[in-house]
Structure 1
Amino acid sequence: MIGGSSSNNYMMYVRGNPEDYNSWADAGFEGWDWDTVLPYFKKSENLQVSDVMQNKTLADYHNTRGPMKVSRPEHERTQETKLEALLQSLSEIGIETIEDYNGPEQLGASKNYFTISNDRVPIRYGTAQAYIVPAKKRKNLVILKNALATKILIDSTKTAIGVEVEVNGKRNRFYASKEVIASAGAVDTPKLLVASGVGAAADLAALGIDVVSDLPVGKDLQDHLFLPVVLSGATDIGTALPVVDLRTIGFPTLNGFFALNGTGRPDLQIIPFYLDMASPFFAFACTNNFNFNNDICSSLINSNKKSELFAILLVLLHPKSRGEIKIRSLNSAPEIYTGYFSNADDFDTVTAGIRRILNLTETDYFKSFDSEVVRVNLPACDELEYMSDEYWECYALQMGRTLYHPAGTCAMGRVVDPELKVLGVDRLRVVDASVFPSMPSGNTNAPVIMVAERAADLIIQQYYGDQNIVTVP
């Protein structure tokens, strides 16, 4: 397998909605319906939330024996009180409190899941810890550091026979006895395929690469973008604690989903951040985590000096807009063209979502502090009527940011088949978010792990038969 991941990040654990996967199956991708993929979500999971596992209805959706630790962080009591107030406020605007968004009902808001351990000192728990560390001493596994896959070796019969890899600056070739699996992600897998002659014929010709398989590699990029709606709160709560404590800083400890028509698959996700008054961490997060400019950050920081803030990140779950990964040169990084809001329907969805969130200022908690929407310094929008639809469209263009969920650039039906095999090339699969035919309703961490678990069984089936598939809980 070739590729990599930033598996040491704090990753939210969100499976999405059953209709996400049923739509894949309805499009002809057999074996990717909800009933089939749910066991693979469970297979990887080691849930460390006792109250969920003690609920028989919820426990049926989870597992405590998988390799991937999933937990919920504890909160300092002041923050816990604020979270409870926010949950109540959300319920007042029709986003009800639910126990488990990974259970039988996704619409609503609940405490967040993360791939972190629930040890005395919580630690990040990513795919490296869950899968690679326990297996690193196996005789049939070799892990190379400082290695970059640059090309898949494909012979004259259009069969993948190995990979070309730079290790510590030296070029090496490794040959496959069965097949090659590309897992470099939705941005770098397209570059790897194009370098190997798999891509759109025009793109390959521009690079002087012979065509092995003419496929729309890198096209139809999808991503979850978010934009923050920031509300003021209490003004008499002191300042944030000077001691660094992850339980007290702005941290997405709640997660919510809502559909604009009130039912079905969610259109939008909300990830609230609570920021204590004069939070010392806000300035860093604003410029470094969210990459906002000084004008934007200054207006938000000045508001935070006067009151606590609730920053509600509004996520567009199913964008109609599409982007592209372009490979201009094999000696440079892929170019990412997000295509955000290239389809105007996405403006309508986010504007409707913003107006739902604005209703929070009329709920009991926020009214008690005369809560207001924090007006961000956006010179590009100054000439527009504040809070008009046109203003919010301008706001979305200025404030929209990636949630780092690129997907779909080597999608099923366009580049790979339902077994994730590259069309027109033998013994080559892709296993990462690039194979998603459409976006799941939530963060992509858990769905990618599910795809990998299912791919493992597809490979076992092909080479060893059904009897060797690991039992899924």
Structure 2
Amino acid sequence: MVTDNITAASAYVLPTDNSAMLELSSSSPATDIDPVDFIIIGAGSAGTVLANRLTEEANWTVLLLEAGGLDNNFTDIIGLSSAYTIFSEINWGYNSTAQSNACQGMENKQCAYARGKARGGSSTMDHGVYARGNPLDYDRWRDLGNPGWGWDDVFPYFLKSKNAVFEGQDTDFHGHVGYMQVDVTSQTPGVEEIISEAFAELGINRGDINGKNQSRLDRIQFTLNGNTRASTAHAFLDGFQDERTNLLLSLNSFVTRILIEKSTKTAYGVEFIRNGELYTVNATREVIVSGGAINTPQILMLSGVGPASHLSELGIDLVRDLPVGENMEDHIGYTGLYYRTDKTFWNITTEEMVRRWTENLRPLTAGLCSEMIAFTNVNNGSLGRPDTEIAMLNSVFPPAGLASAFQLNAKYAAAYDNTLHDWWFIHALQHPKSRGTVKLQSNDPKDFPLIDPNFLSDEEGYDLEISWGSILT
């Protein structure tokens, strides 16, 4: 199974639009489906949780619509995500627009923007790292006018959803009875000690990064159940999907628009295409848009909710003038810091890797063979929270696989010529000031959205200063 999927990934060509999902087999009018109480658009990282919680009320019916298909045995292996899973139908296939200040080592100066299209969404194809953010992040959301989103408000829900089973945790900061299991993996021999000593010299000590103090170094905590990826689909749908008859999951169901009563500005249903047929369904209570940071603004704008000038340019009837798709914020990561060592890491066959995986051992139990993670401040802590995340890893993937995953141009790809000996540090900016947009190419849902993160564009140069400063440090 593993070798067949790896072979398929090497030949897979990512789509450039959504045409394959939107072809209609006939010109017949839409088929009406019986109304439900709630419609959730997107069975991803959030939608699966919402579906679980809402169907706890047995008298409520919930229709969960997902554009992709099922997760599978291959996606269960976190360590295969980076170079292989993204080259499959589980990835939407998005790229950023050409960037002026970043993505300069990528083909056409565009960064790959992998997003999950399957049950579990991006939690089905990401690296499985569990890092829930800093308490001050949530307090800032609250203080910006979002009551109920402060740390004291959200922390009990983190505890409720989680089952932390690893040793060395700050017990009071982890849940132990929730559906989502969080664990650490075995380590690459001899690596943990070297990294710990190096960071201690910088004043960054060991400790639980999801504990009382986030500014620490520690083993990476993964959403992992034994050896299996604990995606939100595994955690919040498996074991419930069959027993709750009030939960209706519709896969391969592409939502083309939300049905909105213009006079009252009230959403009452959705239109979607599944297997070549057009359907409409109404919700008696709520339509919940849970399509992620890219697809949610796309669906809203196609439905007439968005910036009036942008929708007018595309000939979309305006329902509500709102800044949908604006103020996009994403944390850029620098991936080019390598150390060549005199050691060889994981020079073993695929068969041996899979055998070790069945015994809950590295390298495939960890995303991109990730080893440890640290949060720290480059600006001496004036924010009161870390401004930089440093992830440390080595790789089991062939250089060509990683170069393809990041869409590197030939010059930059040369850095990946010997991954068995390389040690890799990713520096990710935690609180960028640069702002981008998500816009529509056209009024046709087949066209991919235009994703412009506008990396490293803030006028003060903060993002570049902190990003570069973390690398120099």
Interval of TM-score (by shorter of Structure 1 and Structure 2): 0.5 to 0.7
Q: Is the 8 A contact 1:182 1:189 kept in 2?
A: yes
**Alpha-carbon distance in structure 2 between the residues aligned to 1:258 and 1:80:** 25
The residue number in structure 2 matching 1:150 is: 256
**Alpha-carbon distance in structure 1 between the residues aligned to 2:175 and 2:307:** 42
The residue number in structure 2 matching 1:444 is: none
Code of the aligned partner of 1:88: E
TM-score (norm 2): 0.68
Aligned residue for 1:232, secondary structure, equals strand
Is 1:258 the counterpart of 2:258? The answer is no
Is 1:62 the counterpart of 2:174? The answer is yes
Unaligned runs of 5+ in 1: 53-57, 357-473
CA shift for structure 1 position 41: 1.0
**What is the aligned counterpart of 1:283 among 366, 387, 399?**
399
Q: Deviation per CA, 1:59-112, whole angstroms, max 9, x where unpaired? A: 11111111111111113xxx23112211211111222222x1001010021000
Q: Is the 8 A contact 1:72 1:114 kept in 2?
A: yes
The residue number in structure 2 matching 1:2 is: 41
Q: Is the 8 A contact 2:161 2:180 kept in 1?
A: yes
Count of aligned positions: 337
CA shift for structure 1 position 237: 5.0
After superposition, the Cα gap between the structure-2 partners of 1:197 and 1:234, relative to the gap in structure 1 and judged at 3 Å, is closer
Aligned residue for 1:135, secondary structure, equals coil
Q: Is the 8 A contact 2:345 2:394 kept in 1?
A: no
Aligned residue for 2:228, secondary structure, equals coil
**Alpha-carbon distance in structure 1 between the residues aligned to 2:405 and 2:189:** 24
**What is the aligned counterpart of 2:411 among 291, 295, 317?**
295
Question: Which portions of structure 1, spanning 4 or more consecutive aligned residues, are displaced by more than 4 angstroms?
Answer: 236-239
Q: How does 1:10-89 map to 2 (within 5 A)?
A: 10-52=127-169, 58-75=170-187, 79-89=188-198
Aligned residue for 2:311, secondary structure, equals helix
The residue number in structure 2 matching 1:383 is: none
After superposition, the Cα gap between the structure-2 partners of 1:31 and 1:176, relative to the gap in structure 1 and judged at 3 Å, is same
Aligned residue for 2:145, secondary structure, equals coil
Aligned residue for 1:328, secondary structure, equals coil
**Alpha-carbon distance in structure 2 between the residues aligned to 1:220 and 1:125:** 31
CA shift for structure 1 position 28: 1.7
The worse-fitting range, judged by mean Cα deviation, of 62-71 and 285-294 is: 285-294
Q: Deviation per CA, 1:312-342, whole angstroms, max 9, x where unpaired? A: 1000111111111111213211111120111
Q: Is the 8 A contact 2:269 2:282 kept in 1?
A: yes
The residue number in structure 2 matching 1:333 is: 448
The residue number in structure 2 matching 1:273 is: 393
The residue number in structure 2 matching 1:320 is: 433
**Alpha-carbon distance in structure 1 between the residues aligned to 2:415 and 2:265:** 57
Q: Is the 8 A contact 2:315 2:443 kept in 1?
A: no
**Alpha-carbon distance in structure 1 between the residues aligned to 2:147 and 2:273:** 37
The residue number in structure 2 matching 1:407 is: none
Q: How does 1:362-401 map to 2 (within 5 A)?
A: none
CA shift for structure 1 position 238: 8.2
Code of the aligned partner of 2:233: A
**Alpha-carbon distance in structure 2 between the residues aligned to 1:142 and 1:196:** 24
**What is the aligned counterpart of 1:180 among 265, 284, 287?**
287
CA shift for structure 1 position 159: 1.0
Q: Is the 8 A contact 1:229 1:354 kept in 2?
A: no
Query: Pairwise CA RMSD of aligned residues?
Result: 2.0
**Alpha-carbon distance in structure 2 between the residues aligned to 1:350 and 1:230:** 12
Code of the aligned partner of 2:141: W
CA shift for structure 1 position 345: 2.0
**Alpha-carbon distance in structure 2 between the residues aligned to 1:284 and 1:105:** 39
The residue number in structure 2 matching 1:95 is: 204
Q: Is the 8 A contact 2:316 2:443 kept in 1?
A: no
By percentage of residues, which structure has more helix?
1
The residue number in structure 1 matching 2:298 is: 191
After superposition, the Cα gap between the structure-2 partners of 1:240 and 1:205, relative to the gap in structure 1 and judged at 3 Å, is same
By percentage of residues, which structure has more strand?
2
The residue number in structure 2 matching 1:394 is: none
Code of the aligned partner of 2:454: G
TM-score (norm 1): 0.68
Q: Deviation per CA, 1:162-205, whole angstroms, max 9, x where unpaired? A: 11111112111111111110001111111111121110111111
